[in-house]
Chains A and B, each alone.
Chain A
């Protein structure tokens, strides 16, 4: 043991001393030539010299939580930033692998084999976490869900900005609990052609066969890029067991097919983007039992955006944009006792945002937004609750934000007002944030109200046709301390209280199951998250811990467990670990691990038909990936093992909704090859 400790300490100290030597060399630069810089050259001077790798990361500017770019340590939200480097070196198979390492995030299963997201113990699948991909709202508008599992093109991602907290004061009714802002590689990043392929092999069957292709080019005023992703995967190769212990093998019966294209044309401040996203799941997991055969559920979407960033002058920027999305989510055929489902939902959205820098200490953002939802039931015998084949809703919103920088504290005040045509009570969500960085130390003190607006089918299936927005109060605090130039520790606490959440429930009679929604009770959680990060030229290391509890909190009956601290499906304690070592300039090895404390799941029904819960043992997922940039310019290869211990972690339904835990993949060996052909001249 002592030898290991000595070795560890020696390694850390070696790395630090190595850095010190670099500093000494810098000091010996030729002073005379330095003082002969031209006036123009002065413009590039930095106030704090050459930043370390970590400082570059933690001081990078992001705008996800403020519209106005602010550095990560002072931006008014609890933030996680995932970089392209981290994604590539970890060998992440999909977004689930990436988000699992972010404090507070976890996944569960909804209905029909769809895997959704939860945050801080709360099931957030139905429109409570906003997913933006290059600014496009990916949540479908019937229920607000986003589907996970080999869905998004992980190899095309440049960075992910994550708000682990409310975002409604900026983004409205889908951002109640969080925002995941995915930014893919743009024309200037691609600047050529990029091709990659991934193959994954589980114990009993293939895991995934993915192909990515990107092409892009930017000149001074003009840019274009087209990126495509073709994914063929399996959710699992394990055996699914329903409540009655009936089972089937998911190998060959849990296919996930993804076809995706993202194209953008830009000229100066004007851009036109179109995204096609066609996602198909093969499922046999039906309500409380196994379907007689595998059935396909489709989620087809087309997103488009026309945007113009008009910089009137150095102080004023006006950004009008128009978005159009058409979707056919949850499309499924008739099978067993289930009816065919086919609805088309269209959303038009208009937005204008004005950002004004009054001076260096004051920025004001003003905006107005409206959207119109149109939905059509494509099945002859099926109607919306208004008795018609179509429904139409609209929403008008205004939002504002003021950022005041003072020597002692940054003050962020903001609010958003939404008027929805189907909701009697208008939504108003204010926020206030106090943040500041004092050299090594930083703090954030945040209060925000947020809301989730009812979606088209929330309204359509509303209990007694009366449903309204749910509201959440967030109180958060974050403290951070930069221990050295290469390491930082942050700790944050939160208290979430949701009033009258929109709850999904089912009622069953002899012939059919009826879906319903109603505002009911209270929910929320309290907890803390801590993260230690170290980053340097040799690689990086991060460890984070997340705790949530619902002790002394009101709970929704369908989310309860026998443990007063827990909610269904989500571990109270999570520990994530990520380490990357750049063995040489071209070769890196990456290890990630996630530890879950015990979880509760509904696994069977008793003789009265009541849910029986089981406690699932703590689980550890360990993954390893090696990446090598070959001597052939642009060619990179990688290989790794996911779920090294073969724990086969299950996706648990985080509410009592008639579905047994869905097995995840077994140990998966993946190989990846990528080739980038850069165009000769890169213009920034």
Chain B
């Protein structure tokens, strides 16, 4: 009986060790998306894209459609930076309709399927639609992010979409990204 007990105790102890190793440290997630990099790019899109004068007087509104930790970065950006003297305001959009007052709308990966209806709804408005998901630039976004095999963060530009929203993109920003047709 004591032999059996020893085996049970031995197994229990090792199970305990494995459990501790695997799960108590579960809060350390796999390599996570660095949303700060995404937000920095968005800030530069704001700097190097021109909106019509009619929209250049008031606050600059960044909208976020979909839930994403990038909201924290946008809040920091709005609190600490200005855009050519204009106050930056962050707005969490729960519906497509709530995006109406935004100058820039960041659409999260989970809401990528909404990019086409967003583009159609606001086709005459000067809203820069930025898609988080790779390839959304082909589905109505003006700019979308991509990552290389080396994990570098890049972006693609759909010039036609930008033009249709009556926005002007600077040549230096075009040089930095990849223009798609």
Contacts and interface: CB of A to CB of B under 8 A. Distances in A.
A and B from one complex: yes
Interface of A: 1-2, 5, 8-9, 12-13, 16, 19-20, 31-32, 34-35, 37, 39, 42-49, 51-52, 55, 59, 61, 69-71, 360, 407, 439-440, 482-487
Contacts of A48: 31-34, 147, 151
Interface residues of B, number: 42
B110 interface: no
Given A42-B44, A48-B31, A484-B28, 5 more contacts: A12-B20, A32-B81, A34-B36, A42-B41, A485-B29
Interface of B: 9-10, 13, 16-17, 20-22, 24-26, 28-34, 36-37, 40-41, 43-44, 48, 76-77, 80-81, 134-135, 145-147, 149-153, 172-173, 176
A71 B16 CA distance: 34
- Which of the listed residues B9, B26, B151 has the most CB atoms from chain A within 10 Å of its own CB? B151
A656 B62 CA distance: 76
A266 B115 CA distance: 50
Given A13-B24, A35-B40, A439-B30, A44 B176 contact: no
Given A12-B25, A35-B40, A42-B176, A47 B80 contact: no
5 contacts: A13-B20, A39-B48, A47-B145, A48-B151, A59-B151
A3 to B, nearest CB: 11
Contacts of A407: 134-135
B26 A47 contact: no
Given A42-B41, A47-B147, A484-B28, A9 B20 contact: yes
Q: When A and B form their complex, which 6 residue pairs have the shortest distance between CB atoms, in order from nearest?
A: A49-B34, A440-B30, A47-B147, A45-B37, A47-B153, A484-B28
Contact of B40 (A42, A439, A440): A42
Given A5-B13, A35-B77, A35-B80, A44 B152 contact: yes
Contacts of A69: 149
B159 to A, nearest CB: 17
Nearest to A485: B28
B30 A46 contact: no
A35 B81 contact: yes
Contacts of A12: 20-21, 25
Given A12-B21, A440-B30, A46 B151 contact: yes
Nearest to B112: A407
A119 B176 CA distance: 48
Contacts of A32: 80-81
B52 to A, nearest CB: 23
Contacts of B30: 55, 439-440, 482, 484-485
Contact of A13 (B25, B31, B33, B81): B25
Contacts of A61: 149-150
B12 to A, nearest CB: 10
B149 A45 contact: no
B129 to A, nearest CB: 19
A21 to B, nearest CB: 12
A660 B155 CA distance: 64
A127 B32 CA distance: 43
A308 B174 CA distance: 33
Contacts of A13: 20, 24-25
Nearest to B10: A1
A96 B90 CA distance: 60
Contact of B151 (A31, A34, A47, A483): A47
A37 B172 CA distance: 14
Contacts of A46: 34, 37, 151-153
Nearest to A15: B25
Contact of A35 (B20, B33, B43): B43
A9 B13 contact: no
Nearest to A60: B150
A43 B81 CA distance: 21
B34 A1 contact: no
Contacts of A486: 28
A360 B146 contact: yes
Contacts of A1: 9-10, 13
A34 B40 CA distance: 8
A23 B25 CA distance: 15
Contacts of B80: 31-32, 35
A483 B10 CA distance: 24
B76 A31 contact: yes
